[in-house]
Amino acid sequence: GDAFDEAQFRSTNARVMDYQEKADTIIKRLARSLEKEDLEDVKNLILELEIVCPVSGSKNWTDVKQFNLMFGTKLGASADSAMDLYLRPETAQGIFVNFLNVQKSGRMKIPFGIAQIGKAFRNEIVARQFIFRMREFEQMEMQFFIRPGSQKEWYETWKQNRMKWHLSLGMGEENYRFHDHEKLAHYADAAADIEFRFPFGFKELEGIHSRTDFDLGSHEKYSGKKLQYFDPELEESYVPYVIETSIGLDRMFLAVLAHSLVDEELDNGSTRTVLKIPAVLAPTKAAVLPLVKKDGLPEIAHQIIDDLRLDFNVTYDDKDAVGRRYRRQDAAGTPFCITVDHQTLEDQTVTLRHRDTMEQKRLPIEELHAAIDKEVGMRHWLKKIL
């Protein structure tokens, strides 16, 4: 019942404590063997624990193998002069190599960040779940350069900033969570993922890593070129520490699409397909629909488009009944439909229909721009993050 104290139970129940000790010993041995690259011992561990394949029940294991994680190729005019080359598994290293170029030419002072978007390639053993995991994908990464010693503070700041960015898209607080890493990569002194609730469960969407001076230090060591920053306030030179934020563009695209596309049951028992994509990301911001194809309504619709298109991507549709046109725009994620009818001829007003609420309100044509901008404009969205 309510009085149950799990922590106390775990730390006092003899059977549970015995299991926990066994589990800890196994995990420690596995970590030790992996660290030493003693793959034979990993295989022995599997055999000793009599681990069976969960699908076939078989214990007939192959030796434990190291997988190739990168794609190799050759660079060079002829076969004998060709050198080995590897496709990058992350975009980050280009930023590190160019760190001093950017800092000096941009006259940047620490702390500052460099962000870039680009292709990354990984020899994923299982590439699946649509575009969630691919061998060729697009990353959006930022390396934020800071003073050594300030990494804990900046790491926390970036964790919060990035979560705020995700939440600002309005896809539901309950669909995000942090996962702090216990086992850290060789370059990190702290790491966390922002996980998103995909249709197949909570999965990593973005990684935030405190990379210390590992990368700049290694480039210095192997290139023999200094990558130090002279801090005018401290009057000393140092290799900066780095906080990295790294998010897959394709994975983000999948998160938005998977979350937004819904079949919604309406009060009258029918269903509509609607792409509830955050308005700021919608490919088309508004559709202008003349109620009928005559009486001068199409002309007014085109005049409205000519004005709005300077700021927003807008579209025109005069095919089928207006209800069907609304549905088409709902499915394409268009946040607004503007309907021109006979009343427009008299008083210069139109109806503005909202994709998510399906509410319609009448307003003067001259107020359309402001009403749309308030919901789809970058400026209004960015203000939420400030």
Residues at the site binding ligand ATP, with contacts judged by CB under 6 A = 122, 124, 133-134, 137, 139, 204-207, 246-248, 250-251
In the bound state with ligand ATP, the residue whose beta carbon lies nearer, of 135 and 383, is: 135
**Token duo for residue 219:** 């480039």
C-beta neighbour count of 308 within 10 angstroms: 21
Nearer to ligand ATP, 188 or 358 (CB): 188
**Least separation in angstroms between CB 241 and ligand ATP:** 18
Shortest separation between residue 98's beta carbon and ligand ATP, angstroms: 20
Nearer CB in complex with ligand ATP: 193/317: 193
CB of 83 to ligand ATP, least distance (A): 26
Closer residue to ligand ATP in complex, CB, 122/325: 122
Q: How far is the CB of 71 from ligand ATP (least distance, A)?
A: 12
C-beta of 89: minimal distance to ligand ATP in Å?
8
Question: Please, which residue, 131 or 167, has the CB nearer to ligand ATP?
Answer: 131
Report how far Cα 192 is from the mean position of its chain's Cα atoms.
13
Least distance to ligand ATP, CB of residue 351, Å? 41
10 versus 128: smaller Cβ distance to ligand ATP = 128
Q: Which is nearer to ligand ATP, 133 or 302 (CB)?
A: 133
User: Shortest distance, CB of residue 127 to ligand ATP, whole angstroms?
Assistant: 6
Q: Is the Cβ of residue 244 or residue 317 nearer to ligand ATP in the bound state?
A: 244
CB of 375 to ligand ATP, least distance (A): 28
| Residue whose C-beta lies closest to ligand ATP | 248
